[in-house]
Homo-oligomer: A and B are copies of this chain.
Amino acid sequence: MKEVKKLWEEVRELSLGNNSEVERLNSAPTPLQFLRDHVSQNKPFIIKKPNLHWPAFSLWPQPSYLSNKLSSSLVSVHLTPNGRADSIVNHLGSLCFASAHVERMPFDEAIKLVSNSNLQDSKLVAYLQQQNDCFRSEYSVLGSECDEHIPWATEALGCYPEAVNLWIGNHLSETSFHKDHYENLYVVVSGKKHFLLLPPTDVHRMYIRQYPAANYSYSPDVGEFTVELERPMRFVPWCSVNPYPSPETRESEMAKFPSFFDGPKPFECTVNAGEILYLPSMWFHHVRQSPDDNGFTIAVNYWYDMQFDIKYAYFNFLQSIHYKSPHGPTLLEIECGDSGSVASAPNEGEADKVTEDE
């Protein structure tokens, strides 16, 4: 369907640029510039020198600072065997959507798990995160060490953030492709975050399919994870593409997801400590990270409510069109069970109700 392919190209030619690079601003935009040049246009950017005077930048990367400060706090930790929560895994020969094993524990215990995940024979990767406004609840004692909101964004968007989340992980933590229904301002405090970004117009390149929901379950005694399907069955629409397949699976992944691998390159960017990424609502993003000298990557992100306007209506329309890749079967065929390894989707119309993410 050449019209869909043309859309991928046109949005780059007209607005985003053809070089797959995210615009870098030297300093923060004014509220008007932010709205006009980015929110309205649904266009990401990075601010190199956002003029944030947060004590967090010097304090949090210090070994033991956070452990002392948060000694009496209970925090949520996401545990997985490999750093990949919310990812598609093969369970008994069938693909499913596996969420992390989530546990609340004292901060110093939790941060030790993150550290230990770096050990070579570790079978457990811990990621301190919880996307429920955790910074303002579990980490409230740190509140004075960074900003409660991003002033120019708050003024532009006319509201305070709906949620502020803290992320502390290591080089193993990875977030699979997904999109959020929020305008997202992502501040890296320590280490680096590596993003792959695709505009909402590229929805058919993500091969969103319905996967049965499952959860990792960790047994401390055995030191191992099992995958447990939710009962009753629940289906989660999720992107099927892994943008970094292993050398062994690369060829088969490229054959399965040709529109992703053969289409325009994703926008690729690294957000360094002290920088801010504006990640526009509805953009698909995949996140990896590099740690600081102590082995940690620390970030705070601000979720602002998005507007469900004509752009959102256009997106839903686009997603409702069944794109037939020149290389393979239609999404419709796949989603309705042409592919043996995915359980058949009960409700294709739910395909954009994404649940949880970075």
Q: Please give the residue numbers on chain A whose beta carbons come within 8 Å of chain B beta carbons, in ascending order.
A: 3-4, 6-7, 10-11, 14-15, 31-33, 35-36, 39-43, 155-158, 199-201, 307-318, 320-321
Contact = CB atoms under 8 A, between A and B. Distances in A.
A33 B14 CA distance: 25
Given A201-B314, A321-B3, A42 B309 contact: yes
Contacts of A200: 310
Contacts of A313: 7, 10-11, 14-15, 201
Nearest to A317: B7
Copies held by the complex = 2
A307 B41 CA distance: 8
A192 to B, nearest CB: 28
A41 B40 CA distance: 8
A14 B314 CA distance: 11
Given A11-B310, A36-B39, 5 more contacts: A3-B317, A4-B317, A7-B317, A310-B311, A314-B315
Given A3-B321, A6-B320, A36 B310 contact: no
A167 to B, nearest CB: 28
A309 B15 CA distance: 5
Nearest to A39: B40
18 contacts: A4-B317, A6-B316, A6-B317, A6-B320, A7-B317, A10-B317, A14-B309, A15-B308, A32-B35, A32-B155, A32-B156, A32-B158, A36-B158, A36-B307, A41-B309, A42-B310, A310-B311, A321-B321
Contacts of A309: 14-15, 40-43
Nearest to A307: B41
A33 B31 CA distance: 11
Q: Which of A42, A200, A201, A314 has the most CB of B within 10 A?
A: A314
